[in-house]
Amino acid sequence: MRKFLSVLLLLVFCMGLLTGCGGTSSTSGSMEITNGYDTSRTKFKEYFLLYSSDFINSFNKAISQKGYQPLAPLKNSSDTHIMYSDNGETWSILVDSIGEENSVYDIDSNAAGRVTEIKLSLFSDSEERAKKNGDFIYELINLFNPGMQEEICKELYVFDKAPEGTDSLRRVICGNVLYSFLYDEGNEKYSSSSFIIMPAEIEYNPEQKPAAVKPTT
């Protein structure tokens, strides 16, 4: 996949509902942010220039170096909604992509199969599972914005207690990626938060087709 470097980009942290931001803070500095994958969009949504198979191969390679079993798709997955599991029963990562029927609106004419969203389940019922969740978050961020794990997790309060009044849905844009952390306090037995990766918004500017062509003389 082609990579490009974005220099001195702004990290924008936005906490609030999906329909709006309850509060906004920003952090900027002399840092270089590398985008692991380019992005584009159809008429209706953004996507990464990345196929599900390429994503899971890269992710499995990364987690295998930490001693984890590779993830495999569950049988009830579809072409555009793949549930990857490490136990063959429950999903750990959901990957959504663009279907063939939607790719007709693609600006680049090659959107079918491209990833639009990656959702990591942070279900945890033990210290071992919580450690795995932390490792998975770091490996995901490292694929999309190498080296930015600490900064992004700090902005989202993934590992630290958030200030009182912080919304349960927290969002941050880094380079061309929108990260979301949906925090679930859980109970004495388990918690079920989630970590979501999507392309940052791209303005839709389709090529204007002329309604009429001036006759030649």
Q: Is 198 helix (H, G, I), strand (E, B) or coil?
A: strand
- The pLDDT assigned to 184 comes to 84
* pTM: predicted TM-score of the whole model, two decimal places: 0.80
Q: How far is CA 161 from the centre of its chain?
A: 23
The residue among 76, 40, 69, 52 whose CA lies nearest residue 199 is: 40
- The pLDDT assigned to 104 comes to 60
- The pLDDT assigned to 4 comes to 37
Q: Is 68 helix (H, G, I), strand (E, B) or coil?
A: coil
- The pLDDT assigned to 5 comes to 36
pLDDT per residue, tens digit, the chain (217 aa), is 434 333 323 344 433 333 233 223 333 455 789 999 999 988 888 999 999 999 999 999 999 999 999 999 999 999 999 999 999 999 999 999 998 876 666 665 688 899 999 999 999 888 999 999 999 999 999 999 999 999 999 999 999 999 998 999 999 999 999 999 999 876 656 777 999 999 999 988 777 777 888 888 7
Q: Is 12 helix (H, G, I), strand (E, B) or coil?
A: strand
Q: For 122-147, give the secondary structure using H, E and C.
A: EEECCHHHHHHHHHHHHHHHHHHCCC
CA atoms within 13 A on the CB side of 162: 18
Q: What string of DSSP letters covers 29-42?
A: -S-EEEESS-EEE-
- The pLDDT assigned to 107 comes to 60
Query: Domain residue spans in the chain?
Result: 4-199
